[in-house]
């Protein structure tokens, strides 16, 4: 089983792109900024990136703090992920109290197993580009393709609030979340 630790990297980007530090990501809460140079084939802005093998995976995310997001990357042969280099990126977002309250009123029935954790595929519903994490509590997910005909932005329930994916939801992977007093484990099918 993979275990999330504070040593996981802040973001994994190719050497030809700019490495975004937390201060820069927090500045990106204004989604109208220029995202030039940000890759659209992988997410940005995660607090931790965890690489796992293809197939079922089990990840201990106990150390994830409210407001933080871990991204699990696993290879896939599903052609739906052709724009992300045949990698499925799954986010687990440990929600803040405000996001839990928002989710209680707005989550899609049957998609959230524990209101404190939101699990979602980071694949834009418009053209299958990667979704980045914005640092904005009200709109934490945004497509990394910020072109004029794209620029999808999603709220804390994965609902498209603007851009090409407005009124559409991000997809939810098959998963099981086991939460106890001492441990939180995400199992991906």
Mean pLDDT for back-to-back runs of 10 residues, the chain (189 residues): 45 27 35 65 87 96 93 96 95 95 94 96 91 87 80 91 92 96 96
Burial of 32 (0-12, 13-18, 19+ CB in 10 A): exposed
d(CA 14, CA 19): 9
Q: Residue 53 has what pLDDT? A: 96
Q: Residue 134 has what pLDDT? A: 85
Asked whether the beta carbons of 132 and 43 are under 8 A apart, the reply is yes
Q: At 70, phi and psi to the nearest 5? A: -105, 145
Q: Residue 23 has what pLDDT? A: 31
Q: Residue 151 has what pLDDT? A: 81
d(CA 25, CA 172): 24
Q: Residue 15 has what pLDDT? A: 25
Q: Residue 3 has what pLDDT? A: 57
């Amino acid at each position: 089983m993979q275990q999330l630790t504070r040593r996981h990297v802040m973001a994994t980007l190719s050497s030809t792109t700019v490495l975004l530090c937390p201060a820069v990501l927090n500045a990106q809460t204004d989604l109208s900024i220029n995202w030039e140079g940000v890759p659209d084939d992988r997410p940005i802005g995660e607090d931790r990136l965890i690489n796992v093998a293809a197939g079922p995976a089990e990840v201990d995310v106990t150390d994830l703090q409210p407001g933080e997001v871990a991204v699990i990357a696993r290879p896939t042969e599903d052609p739906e992920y052709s724009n992300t280099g045949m990698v499925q990126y799954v986010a687990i977002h440990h929600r803040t109290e405000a996001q839990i309250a928002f989710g209680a009123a707005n989550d899609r029935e049957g998609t959230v197993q524990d209101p404190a954790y939101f699990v979602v595929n980071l694949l834009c519903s418009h053209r299958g580009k990667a979704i980045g994490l914005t640092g904005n509590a009200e709109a934490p997910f945004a497509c990394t393709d910020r072109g004029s005909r794209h620029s999808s932005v999603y709220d804390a329930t994965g609902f498209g609030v603007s851009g090409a994916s407005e009124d559409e939801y991000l997809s939810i992977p098959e998963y099981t979340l086991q939460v106890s007093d001492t441990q939180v484990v995400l199992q991906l099918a």
